[in-house]
Amino acid sequence: MAESQSPKPGLMSRIFSPKSKNQLRKLPPSQPLKASFSSHASFSSQTTSPLSSPAIVQKPLAFGAIYRPVDDNRDEQTGERRDNTELLHGLAHHESHDSSDSLAALNNQQAWRPPGERDIASLDVPLWARVAAFLSPGDKAALAFTTRTLMARIGTECWRELEKEENEREKLRFLITQDEKLPGHLLCFSCVRYHKRIQMGLESLKRKDVLNRVYHCPMVGKPEHVQPRSRIAPGWDLAFPFVQLVMRGHKYGVSTHGIPLSDLERRWVDPNSGWIHQSRYFIHKGHLLMRVSSKTFATPKLPPSGVRHLLYSREDYTPYFSVCAHWKDGELMPVCKCALSHIPENHQSLKQQLKQGPGIHMRYKNPQAIVSLCSRCRPMRRCPECPSEYLVELKLAEDKEDPVVKFKQAIVVTRWCDFGDGTSIFDPEWCAINGLEAEDREAYDSFAVMGKRAISGIFEAQNGVTMPGQRLKSLNPKRVKLGEEGDDWY
């Protein structure tokens, strides 16, 4: 049975109970807080009855625990005592230059210095000045930019020399070396400085009549300014900044430095001429290769004026297909005209032939679907002055817009070219394709540079396609340059 509780004291017992001897006293000013706390504790202990002590609220047990741990600086999970000695020692040695940890950090910093820096620092300043005297201004600035030790030995005067107008080419050589360290910027060859990319990762190739800025250049809009670009087809150009973005993405990473190669590929139809174009790109040994295939339907026995309307644009009298800057010199346009002359007549029944006259020709009744070209227009041609190759073909294609004659002969002109490594507009491949002359180098000779390996074979080998055996002849065997004066191209 539970013990019975003691009866509550009555009124008389509380009246006649002895009085408390506790009196209110003024505390000395020296220790007010301590005395107040002790007096309050003594008063509460005397007035509180031992029978009416408040219930102690204990902390609930941890999940999975059986026994309640004692609050003696033990870990509730492991039951081990916490040792604060290591914590206190760690605070004592924090940011201390005399501690062993700081000395070890300094030793590690010395060990991780670039290799050979101590040897560089051991050489005298006059000796480094003698070495720098044999270097060009661009190479000297790049050498001084590598480490602080070399900057202190060579000096910063070489960077001031790059600001001179006669050293603009050397300044470009120095800025090209910093391309990997500036993923959010792009080198502008018109301003000779880096501009911030305004559409980082979203750059897209568009028609040349569409404003498509990659960065804000103050030279845009000036009459004498011409942005470096290469012609693909009428209405489409490949600006050099897109060549930079693709090659930077291939070298240093697409997510940070450039754009993927597939963003340059296009397929479009010229609304004025009906030519169908398709462009593809491939990177081989650090060089950007391009293939542009252009085709259109052609009728047989075209007069000279019809051939001109089929091949040339009326805006600037350039071919509708992709050509290099040397297309007027050589055999390119005569080869296309020769291929058009081999197109056979369309299918004509005997009834249709009798309506035209008494003669009957069986070649019109069963025309050949596969047309064989002659020895002049069949071989592949390579431009001797730039890395460009051409192949002219006649293929039977379906014309979905003609309800009468479904299948017709189409002329297909395919061009393969090499734009170089995309580091500078002064690269030999880029200058040769666009017809630019370099002052410090000889004229480009494609047969001497590329040898027997064709660009077309390298490009088609990426997909496992084996091209049929083709003779590779020079586009301009006699190296005759007439330009506008030559009338054979038109």
Question: So what's the pLDDT on residue 275?
Answer: 94
Q: What values do phi and psi take at 147, rounded to 5?
A: -135, 165
Per domain, the residue ranges of the chain are: 117-174, 265-485
Left, alpha or beta for 319 (phi > 0: left; psi -120 to 50: alpha)?
beta
Number of residues in the chain: 490
Integer Cα distance of 242 and 422 in angstroms: 9
Which alpha helices (DSSP H) does 323-475 contain, by range? 332-340, 350-356, 362-365, 428-433, 446-450, 455-460
Question: So what's the pLDDT on residue 427?
Answer: 92
- The answer to whether 353 and 293 have CB atoms below 8 angstroms apart is no
Question: So what's the pLDDT on residue 350?
Answer: 59
CA distances from 382 to 327, 421, 446, 489 (A): 11, 20, 8, 17
Question: So what's the pLDDT on residue 373?
Answer: 87
Q: What values do phi and psi take at 74, rounded to 5?
A: -105, 155
- The answer to whether 310 and 340 have CB atoms below 8 angstroms apart is yes
DSSP letters spanning 121-151: HHS-HHHHHHHHTTS-HHHHHHHHTT-HHHH
Question: So what's the pLDDT on residue 35?
Answer: 46
Question: So what's the pLDDT on residue 197?
Answer: 93
Question: So what's the pLDDT on residue 56?
Answer: 61
Q: Which of 194, 201, 238 is nearest to 216 (CA)?
A: 194
Question: So what's the pLDDT on residue 17?
Answer: 61
Question: So what's the pLDDT on residue 159?
Answer: 86
Average pLDDT, consecutive stretches of 10 residues, N- to C-terminus, the chain (490 residues): 54 60 59 47 46 59 64 70 74 57 60 70 84 88 86 86 88 91 92 92 90 89 85 93 94 91 93 92 94 93 90 90 92 92 74 65 60 87 94 89 82 95 92 85 88 88 74 88 67
CA distances from 92 to 84, 103, 104, 106, 418 (A): 13, 16, 17, 19, 66
Q: pLDDT tens digit string along 65-92?
A: 666 655 566 777 777 777 777 777 767 6
Question: So what's the pLDDT on residue 108?
Answer: 62
